[in-house]
Structure 1
Amino acid sequence: MNLMERVVIAGCPGAGKSTAARRLAEITGLPVVHLDRHYWQPGWTRPDPEDWQETVSELAARPRWIMDGNYGSTLNLRLAAADTLIHLDFSTFVCASRVLRRTLTGLGGQRGGELGDGCQERLDWPFFQFVLNYRRTRRDRDLEVMSGFGGTVYRMESPRQLESLFRLFAKRPFAVAEI
């Protein structure tokens, strides 16, 4: 049995990284770190890049976690500390339709505490364009960073595959380390 104590969940926005993190936390007992909550400052203000790198380094130094988020600029930091990578490599259609549904149903809300204080769900055309273009403009860069990862990799190409992985995980015992 592979030890799973530090898990990176990566992929295009809308793939369901935060939902997957919560589901995995229910199975494993590992704490979830939603990077969006740490990145976005009130009013959707971005942090200073050096401060952001430091924040992610501090989060990754924790002994146990499931960390979800895109943030390609810190993927190498997270993978260096992780033992497991779950890559949600879903189609543009799946991701874009999920972002659209999430946005329209959650307008004005904070997405279950996943977002930073003062950041409510909103219509954001540049973000939606990012989702539509992710596979063409960012996916190869992320795959290159992931290719150097030495831990256990689960690359899921559909929500159905991810559901099968969760069923498999639910059948295996996870020792929850005492803190």
Structure 2
Amino acid sequence: MHRILVVGSAGAGKTTLAREIACRLDLPLIHLDRHFWQPGWTAPGEARWRETVAGLAARPAWVMDGNYGGTLDLRLPRADLLVFSDPPRLRCLGRVLRRRWAHRATPRDDLPVGCPEQIDLQFLRYVWRFPRDSRPRLLAAVASRAPDLPMVRLRGRADVRRWLESLPDGQP
């Protein structure tokens, strides 16, 4: 496996998990947020974004973290493995709030310059509604775009720990 896609709700631990997988397997790490957002949280146009993602997905090896449902059609067929970080919503909300506090003065390394950590009511609603709204869309995209793609679904810290410990020499 050389192309591993890590998805899940905000606060699900995607970034930390992707970083650990990339380190253990010596694969390049791609944080989609770094490529999507421009300073001041400005989003690129859809055509430019799809072109960027197509170029990233075409690389021979990567661990890519981020949902961006509008580009799953580009990424799922290229992936060798899908890792779905799917902890309970309260844990995700707690992590989002903790992360905001932890990065109140220092920028996160998975975000581009000029995009400080922020939280608003819309974002918190997205996290709360992820299991009801986004999880089914994500699983439907996998079923339609890459039905044979192996998927690991990690629901808690113990799942994550056990799965990471199971990674053999250089291959998940």
TM-score where L is the length of structure 2: 0.93
Aligned amino acid, residue 99 of structure 2: R
Change (3 A) 1:134 1:96: same
**Which residue number in structure 2 is paired with residue 115 of structure 1?**
111
1:52 maps to 2:52: no
1:82 maps to 2:76: no
1:129 maps to 2:120: no
How far the C-alpha of 1:109 sits from its partner, in A, is 2.7
Write the distance in 2 (CA, Å) between the matches of 1:69 and 1:100: 19
Write the distance in 2 (CA, Å) between the matches of 1:131 and 1:156: 17
How far the C-alpha of 1:130 sits from its partner, in A, is 0.8
Aligned amino acid, residue 23 of structure 1: E
Select which of 6, 10, 13 maps to 2:10.
Answer: 13
Write the distance in 2 (CA, Å) between the matches of 1:76 and 1:155: 20
Runs of 5+ consecutive residues of structure 2 not aligned to the other structure: none
The 5-angstrom pairing of residues 30-179 of structure 1 reads 30-111=27-108, 113-148=109-144, 149=146, 150-169=148-167, 172-174=168-170
Aligned amino acid, residue 61 of structure 2: R
Runs of 5+ consecutive residues of structure 1 not aligned to the other structure: none
Q: Helix, strand or coil for the counterpart of 1:63?
A: coil
How far the C-alpha of 1:25 sits from its partner, in A, is 1.2
Write the distance in 1 (CA, Å) between the matches of 2:40 and 2:68: 19
Write the distance in 2 (CA, Å) between the matches of 1:110 and 1:36: 13
Q: How many residue pairs get matched?
A: 169
Q: Give the CA RMSD over aligned residues.
A: 1.3
| Alignment check: 8 A CA contact 1:108 1:121 kept | no
Q: Helix, strand or coil for the counterpart of 1:115?
A: coil
Q: Helix, strand or coil for the counterpart of 2:83?
A: strand
Write the distance in 1 (CA, Å) between the matches of 2:67 and 2:10: 7
Aligned amino acid, residue 119 of structure 2: L
Moved over 4 A (4+): none
Aligned amino acid, residue 32 of structure 1: L
| Alignment check: 8 A CA contact 1:7 1:65 kept | yes
Aligned amino acid, residue 83 of structure 1: D
Q: Helix, strand or coil for the counterpart of 2:54?
A: helix
TM-score where L is the length of structure 1: 0.90
Write the distance in 2 (CA, Å) between the matches of 1:140 and 1:52: 23
Write the distance in 2 (CA, Å) between the matches of 1:173 and 1:123: 39
Aligned amino acid, residue 21 of structure 1: A
Write the distance in 1 (CA, Å) between the matches of 2:156 and 2:16: 14
